[in-house]
């Protein structure tokens, strides 16, 4: 999905080719998604554009717009695959054109077009908006040009880290992070919090700040938040300055190496030798360097982690210790139990009691039998049976899956009941 840098690129071409010109002709097809879901129609959009002079172009995060001499004004969102094309120029990136068939390179109007504009110059400029997957949105906002951002959908979005430097300050970031309890990567992707950061920008920002993507945002100290703020400003500003042209991104950026997932022969590492891995929470994937972006606080439970090398087009599989590539260090996921000191204390007591029990009972000769015995004891102590396939034995006789003690039962009574069971068996 186009992010802050790609939007800056589209606005750049609007300013070069359209600002100061009058639109003589406008044509738009009827598309219930691109126009309809934004509250307008193709014909309404075409009528609103015809005969209007373009005064300026602007952006906020993933949205961008044209200010016309007479409202309403068009506001655009690329969605997943939207783009703006100029006849006679190549506005997209090299890889975009590499994926096209030879006969499509100079085709006009381009394939999957939704609207076309043509200026009234002696050498008219022709513009087209394309969107193969139709997740993009084209809407009309009826207001004075200078107040577009005070109207929906822009008013619901957070500040742009490049455009709104007076709003997006370090104090703003600190207050937002202290008031939320979500993974920091999820916070960065929340457009209501900050506009323009998507998946690759979010990964880049966290890599430079050396922060683990799934650590809760309110678990970072002031110095870490300062680093994150500087990283957001640095990555977003430079990416916008380069108009999203990745060929001009610094060599040490994560962006240059994160796309190796699923590619045969991909190194799966940075130039300095640091290994890369992916983790998935709630269906969102993050690329990060585990040895650089270490956890310093609690992380969201249920993280699935995997090294580079999985199929990029497939849904990430759950990590398996026996299937991880060599050299990739995957840290264990912290459980819910670790979110409470009292729960942690209870687990320690159970471990201590279990050690005492283990000394009294003869150790089974087979290690697997010992693990099964501990697993059966743990199951007996649980008030409700666990779902099939979800139980796991923990070392030193701790309660399975790090579960809490059953209400009303003490550690001592549990240990006593275990001893009693063994004596009766004898």
Express each pLDDT in 369-426 by its tens digit. 444 444 444 443 334 444 444 433 333 333 333 333 333 344 444 444 444 444 444 4
**Which position among 62, 118, 261, 275 bears the catalytic label?**
62
Q: Note the pLDDT tens digit of each residue in 78-109.
A: 999 999 999 999 998 877 887 888 888 889 99
Is 338 one of the annotated active-site residues of the chain? no
Is 2 one of the annotated active-site residues of the chain? yes
Give the pLDDT mean for 27-35.
97
**Which position among 3, 214, 219, 337 bears the catalytic label?**
3
**Which position among 2, 72, 159, 183 bears the catalytic label?**
2
Please state which of the ranges 41-45, 181-185, 316-320 shows the lowest mean pLDDT: 316-320
> By the 8 A CB rule, do 53 and 7 touch?
no
Is 334 one of the annotated active-site residues of the chain? no
pTM score of the predicted model: 0.71
Report the pLDDT value the prediction gives residue 104, as an integer from 0 to 100: 85
Report the pLDDT value the prediction gives residue 348, as an integer from 0 to 100: 55
How far is Cα 217 from Cα 61, in angstroms, rounded to an integer? 21
Report the pLDDT value the prediction gives residue 215, as an integer from 0 to 100: 95
Report the pLDDT value the prediction gives residue 272, as an integer from 0 to 100: 82
Please state which of the ranges 27-36, 129-138, 268-277, 289-298 shows the lowest mean pLDDT: 268-277
């Amino acid at each position: 999905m186009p992010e802050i840098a790609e939007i800056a690129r589209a606005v750049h071409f609007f300013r070069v080719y359209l600002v100061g010109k009058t639109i003589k002709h406008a044509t738009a097809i009827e598309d219930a998604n691109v126009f309809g879901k934004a509250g307008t129609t193709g014909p309404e959009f075409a009528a609103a554009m015809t005969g209007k002079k373009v005064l300026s172009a602007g952006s906020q995060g993933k949205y961008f717009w044209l200010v016309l001499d007479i409202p309403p004004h068009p506001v655009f969102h690329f969605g997943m695959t939207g783009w703006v094309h100029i006849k006679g120029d190549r506005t997209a990136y090299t890889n975009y054109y590499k994926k096209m068939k030879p006969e499509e390179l100079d085709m006009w109007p381009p394939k999957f077009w939704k609207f076309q504009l043509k200026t009234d110059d002696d050498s008219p400029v022709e513009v087209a908006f394309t969107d193969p997957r139709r997740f993009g949105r084209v809407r009309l906002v009826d207001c004075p040009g200078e107040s577009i951002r005070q109207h929906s959908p822009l008013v619901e979005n957070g500040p742009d880290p490049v455009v709104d430097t007076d709003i997006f300050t370090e104090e703003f970031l600190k207050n937002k992070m202290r008031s939320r309890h979500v993974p920091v990567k999820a916070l960065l992707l929340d457009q209501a919090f900050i506009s323009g950061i998507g998946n690759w920008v979010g990964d880049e920002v966290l890599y430079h700040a050396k922060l683990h993507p799934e650590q809760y945002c309110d678990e970072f100290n002031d110095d870490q938040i300062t680093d994150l703020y500087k990283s957001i400003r640095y990555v977003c500003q430079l990416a916008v300055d380069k108009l999203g042209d990745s060929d001009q991104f610094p060599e040490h950026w994560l962006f240059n190496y994160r796309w190796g997932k699923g590619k045969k022969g991909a190194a799966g590492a940075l130039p300095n030798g640091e290994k890369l891995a992916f983790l998935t929470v709630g269906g969102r994937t993050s690329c990060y360097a585990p040895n650089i972006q270490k956890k310093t606080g609690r992380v969201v439970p249920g993280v699935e982690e995997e090294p580079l090398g999985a199929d990029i087009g497939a849904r990430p599989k759950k990590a398996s210790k026996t299937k991880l590539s060599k050299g990739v260090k995957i840290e264990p996921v912290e459980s819910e139990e670790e979110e409470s000191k009292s729960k942690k204390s209870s687990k320690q007591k159970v471990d201590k009691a279990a050690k005492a029990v283990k000394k009294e009972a003869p150790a089974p000769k087979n290690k697997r039998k010992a693990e099964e015995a501990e697993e059966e004891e743990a199951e007996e102590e649980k008030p409700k049976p666990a779902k099939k396939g979800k139980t796991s034995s923990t070392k030193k006789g701790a309660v399975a899956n790090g579960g809490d003690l059953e209400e009303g039962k003490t550690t001592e009574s549990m240990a006593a009941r275990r001893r009693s069971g063994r004596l009766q068996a004898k």
